Amino acid sequence: MRGAGLAGVTVLAASCGTSFDDVRLTIATGGTQGVYYALGNALAQAWHERLPLGRRPQVLSTDGSRANLDLLDAGTADVVFSAADAAALNLSASVPDESRRPAALARLYDDVVHVVVRADSPAVRLADLRGLRVSVGAANSGVLLIAPCGCRGTASATRRPPPTG
């Protein structure tokens, strides 16, 4: 399915007869160790190889969803990766320049949040994290936005012992 979409864009762009030599694309991703950064680089390479772009799209390493949406709103980035919750919040906010609002939205990747505690931690359930110091990632990431939601109504969640071996 992913290949079909890229092939469709390639055929459409090639059939236009327009030169894209002056097109500069900037992709805002996430941290260099994350999935979004790897995916952004793969897309940049595929677009560079298969579309008549004059240069390879630039891939930016960022703090995450909120930072990416800010870059999109500012016109600094053309393509961004974002958690759905962060994108929904951004779309519901007032954007002064309507031309900078996203033109397309696609679901590409399901984020998974892992909660890890030390073996000697008193936290056994998510609710036990209340009052403890918790790290949720970069200041402008989507995880920071949704982390408080994950701790509500979770009294039945339990900690599993780590795998051995």
Q: Specify if 69 maps to a domain.
A: yes
Is 7 a domain residue?
A: yes
Any domain includes 115? no
Task: Say yes or no to pLDDT of 132 above 60.
Answer: yes
Residue 75 lies in a domain: yes
Specify the pLDDT at position 127. 83
pLDDT class of 106 with cuts at 50, 70, 90: confident
CA distances from 163 to 69, 132, 160 (A): 37, 25, 9
C-alpha to C-alpha distances, 106 to 34, 89, 96, 131, 153, nearest whole angstrom: 19, 16, 23, 37, 29
Find out whether 5 and 50 touch, Cβ atoms under 8 Å: no
Residue 96 belongs to domain with CATH number: 3.40.190.10
The verdict on residue 159 lying in a domain is: no
Highest mean pLDDT range out of 29-38, 114-123, 129-138?
29-38
Evaluate whether residue 109 is within a structural domain: no
Structurally, the chain folds into a number of domains equal to 1
pLDDT digits 0-9 by tens, 1-43: 445 444 445 445 555 556 678 888 999 999 999 889 999 999 9
Please compute the mean of the pLDDT values over residues 72-101 and round it to a whole number.
79
What angle separates helix 142-150 from helix 65-74, to the nearest 10 degrees?
140
What's the distance, CA 99 to chain centroid?
21
Domain that holds residue 63: 2-100
> Across all residues in the chain, what is the average pLDDT?
76
Residue 144 within a domain = no
| Inside any domain, residue 149 | no
